[in-house]
């Protein structure tokens, strides 16, 4: 009886050791086990990063906001929220301003509220115009049409919102990391998933973003796919089709992997499914595309095996290292000092 029990224990331990050796070999065969190969797409805005509200208020001016609230907004207080009122007013005003782009793609792009973006904003996102061109056009038309604004405060708030959205440095400085999605990106990358950022982003903002988040985000992203690079814009099929061909050609080991997509806009998630499912079916590889809103990223990731049970909620929500954001702030201060010195030099040389 004792020998039989000892034999059973020995057999159990042998099987366990053999299983561990097999798992180790499989994990180190090319760095990723076939069962764990997954393609994970991440949006940037309101997914990996979110705007800092206090930074936005400081750019708009608290006094202007209050005068706008108790003045122009008072007429609409029973119809909408103040934040929604400001967003709608900005979009409606920008819609009146023509884009300086020539022969730009006419395909519309949707805002977070599901409505089409103003053409001048859309053309910036697809790389048809620069931030400087957009700001110059907006400032010119703002001066030409004072009748668009009910008060001086409303005009100042509008210009502050435009500067916040169109100035790459101001916009990037306001961004803060979403800890849950950032740690999910880091964890997926470390576990051997192919991580791709897919975002509608202005070209100048891409450079600023990579400079600011060079520790928390850049090392964990295998590919960057932006609307400004000419691949189309979400939710259009072309940007997702580009991602599919990119994976097929550059990462053939992931050609049969399932895809996962985190994006805050339902239109973009629907667009990804509509574009990728026919490609999966045509390949005959039985792939699937799963999508989720960033707010549901953690339970979604657990359900689909992107994170294991050993990864606790606290681990996904720990604070991000602030060193890179402090370094970026110092970089902006250096740029401002240089610009001031350059302006003084230019002024003196005119005499």
pLDDT at 83: 75
> What's the Cα-to-Cα distance from 345 to each of 139, 259, 333, rounded to whole Å?
26, 54, 18
> How many CB atoms within 10 Å of residue 11?
10
* CA–CA distances in Å: residue 163 to residues 135, 138, 171: 8, 10, 8
- Specify the pLDDT at position 334: 81
Here the tokens at position 124 are: 């910036």
Query: Helix, strand, coil % (nearest 5) of the chain?
Result: 60, 10, 30
For the chain, list residues with pLDDT below 70: 1-36, 72-80, 112, 310-322, 343-351
pLDDT for res 26: 35
Which of 144, 151, 171, 173 is closest to 160 using CA atoms? Answer: 171
Reduced to 3 states, what is the DSSP secondary structure of residue 64?
helix
317 vs 238: CA distance, rounded Å: 34
Q: Locate tokens 């029990």: which residue?
A: 5
| Beta-carbon contacts of residue 66 (< 8 Å; ≥ 6 apart) | none
- In Å, how far from its chain's centre is CA 143? 33
pLDDT at 312: 64
Q: What pLDDT sits at residue 69?
A: 72
Residues in contact with 31: Cβ distance below 8 Å, sequence separation at least 6, in sequence order: 192
pLDDT for the residue 331: 81
Which residues lie below 8 Å from residue 171, measured CB to CB, with a gap of 6+?
Answer: 164, 165, 205, 208
pLDDT digits (tens, 9 = 90+) for 207-258: 999 999 998 999 999 999 999 999 999 999 999 999 999 999 999 999 999 9
Q: What is the pLDDT of residue 47?
A: 95
The Cβ-side half-sphere exposure at 305, using a 13 Å CA radius, reads 9
Burial of 128 per CB tally in 10 Å (0-12, 13-18, 19+): buried
Looking at residue 347, what is its pLDDT? 54
pLDDT, tens digit, 9 for 90 and up, residues 89-112: 899 999 999 999 988 888 888 776
Which residues in 191-206 are b (16+ Cβ under 10 Å) and which e?
bebbbbbbbbbbbbbb
């Amino acid at each position: 009886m004792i020998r039989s029990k000892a034999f059973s224990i020995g057999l159990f331990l042998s099987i366990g050791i053999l299983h561990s050796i097999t798992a180790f070999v499989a994990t180190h065969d090319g760095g990723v086990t076939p069962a764990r190969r997954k393609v994970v797409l991440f949006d940037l805005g309101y997914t990996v990063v979110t705007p800092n509200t206090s930074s936005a208020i400081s750019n708009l001016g608290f006094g202007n906001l209050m005068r706008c609230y108790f003045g122009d907004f008072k007429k609409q207080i029973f119809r909408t929220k103040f934040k929604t009122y400001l967003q709608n007013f900005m979009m409606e005003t920008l819609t009146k301003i023509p884009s300086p782009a020539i022969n730009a793609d006419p395909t519309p792009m949707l805002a977070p509220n599901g409505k089409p973006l103003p053409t001048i904003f859309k053309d910036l996102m697809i790389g048809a115009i620069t931030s400087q061109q957009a700001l110059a056009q907006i400032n010119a038309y703002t001066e030409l049409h004072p009748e668009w604004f009910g008060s001086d405060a409303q005009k100042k708030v509008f210009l502050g919102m435009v500067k916040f959205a169109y100035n790459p440095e101001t916009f990037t400085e306001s961004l803060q990391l979403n800890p849950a999605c950032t740690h999910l990106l880091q964890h997926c990358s470390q576990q051997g998933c192919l991580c791709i950022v897919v975002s509608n982003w202005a070209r100048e903002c891409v450079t600023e973003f990579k400079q600011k988040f060079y520790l928390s985000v850049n090392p964990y992203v295998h590919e960057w796919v932006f609307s400004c690079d000419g691949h189309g814009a979400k939710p259009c099929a072309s940007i997702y089709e580009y991602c599919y061909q990119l994976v097929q050609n550059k990462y053939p080991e992931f050609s049969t992997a399932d895809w996962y997509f985190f994006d805050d806009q339902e239109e973009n998630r629907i667009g990804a499914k509509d574009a990728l499912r026919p490609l999966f079916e045509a390949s005959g590889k039985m792939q699937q595309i799963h999508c989720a809103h960033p707010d549901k990223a953690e339970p979604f990731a657990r359900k689909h095996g992107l994170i294991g049970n050993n990864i606790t909620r606290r681990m996904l929500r720990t604070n991000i290292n602030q060193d890179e954001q402090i370094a970026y702030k110092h970089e902006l201060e250096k740029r401002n000092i240089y610009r001031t010195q350059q302006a003084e030099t230019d002024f003196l040389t005119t005499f």
